[in-house]
Amino acid sequence: MRISKTSQLLLTLTLALILAACGGAGADDTAPTPIPTNTAIPLAPESGPSNLDLDDPEAFQEFPGDYTLTMDFSFEGENDDGADASGNLLLIAASQAEPHALSMDISASGAADLGGVDHVNYVELDDRIYFWNAQNGCANLPANSEQGLLFNDFVNTDNFLTGIAQRMLPDATINGVASYHFVLSPENLDVEDPETMDVSELTNGSIYVARDGGYIVRMLLQGTGVSQLISAEGGPLGQIDYQLDFEPAPDGVSISPPEGCAEDESQPVDYPVLDDATNPTSFGGFYSYQTEKSFDVAVDFYLTRLAEDGWTLEENNSAGGTAAMLFSKDGTRINVVISPVADGALNIILAEEP
């Protein structure tokens, strides 16, 4: 199984790095919510495609309107020393089309890890992004101009599935949607790009596609492989079970910031800040804000002010209007990241290294 690069980055890098940088450790007591059970209801066979071309970029359409998404990913295996390496990631999400908003509630158990915590909330709402976990509380950040699309992030078969999947009758109603059922064979798994997949040997797989609209309603994958989501790269071989469900929400979805998240919760920062700072955010050793200053002015401000305060510049990487600088002082290291956002403003992040 392969999760798209955007989603894999979100689940395994973005969350892990941000939470680790904020001192996340240990686990909370929040238990994963069970994945809902959906029964396939036989329908009378009707005309329709006999197969699905998995190499066709137009094979899957964007899910129309509002919807919820559930991803259940589990791995069962043992390390070389016989220790249990099994784990589970459960993601329950909602997407609102107009105005754009989305939420993700991610739970980890067993060997699965979200940067030292086992439960994370992520929300995009009203041009803000919110991260929450029980150990570190809430991070409230300005959103960039690029909106996330859950469907596009998770339904991405490029370099993952290939060839022709055959239709199986009877058709079925999945998550309330009349759907065609296509069965995946081992030959449909593209093994030419092993770094982008988890299942390396497929034993069972299905894709359900809406008869009206052509969007995926469910994807099921079972097989063996090395899980990059549950274990580290080069981990043990094990059994992987993956289920992805989309369910339309004709009455809309309810999306709000995680409890306790508010824009006025930011704490004062111990580092220099430009005098026109807006949208401040603090989260453990992580602080961000926006400025209308030019890129060159912002970079020069930190190079000059931190040097005056006794900080030593260790790294300075600038390209394409983005700068990443690393400073050290008395055993403490901070990263200063300057990047463009909407309307010509800059977003500035100050983050202490753990």
Q: Would you list the DSSP string of 38-51?
A: ---EE----S--SE
**Residue 341: pLDDT band by 50, 70, 90 thresholds?**
confident
Cα 325–chain centre separation: 26
Cα 189 from Cα 163, distance rounded (Å): 8
pLDDT at residue 79 above 70? yes
Task: Give tens-digit pLDDT for 25-71.
Answer: 333 333 333 333 344 444 555 678 889 998 887 777 788 899 999 99
Closest alpha carbon to 283 in 300, 263, 303: 263
CA distance readout (Å), 337 to 20, 127, 330, 349: 17, 20, 21, 5
Among 74-88, 185-199, 295-309, 339-353, the range scoring the smallest mean pLDDT is 185-199
Residue 305 has pLDDT above 90, yes or no: yes
Whether the CA torsion 140, 143, 144, 146 is positive or negative: it is positive
By three-state DSSP, how is residue 161 classified? strand
Average pLDDT over residues 282-290: 76
Which is more confidently placed, 288 or 66? 66
pLDDT for 159 = 58
Other CB atoms within a 10 A radius of the CB of residue 189 amount to 22
User: Can you list the alpha helix ranges (DSSP code H) found in 100-211?
Assistant: 150-154
Query: Residue ranges per domain, the chain?
Result: 5-26+34-248, 266-352
Q: Residue 151 has what pLDDT?
A: 62
Is 243:72 a contact under the CB 8 Å cutoff? yes
At 196-223, the pLDDT tens digits run 457 888 899 999 999 998 899 999 999 9
d(C-alpha 307, C-alpha 218), whole Å: 55
pLDDT score for 19: 34
Query: What pTM did the predictor assign?
Result: 0.69
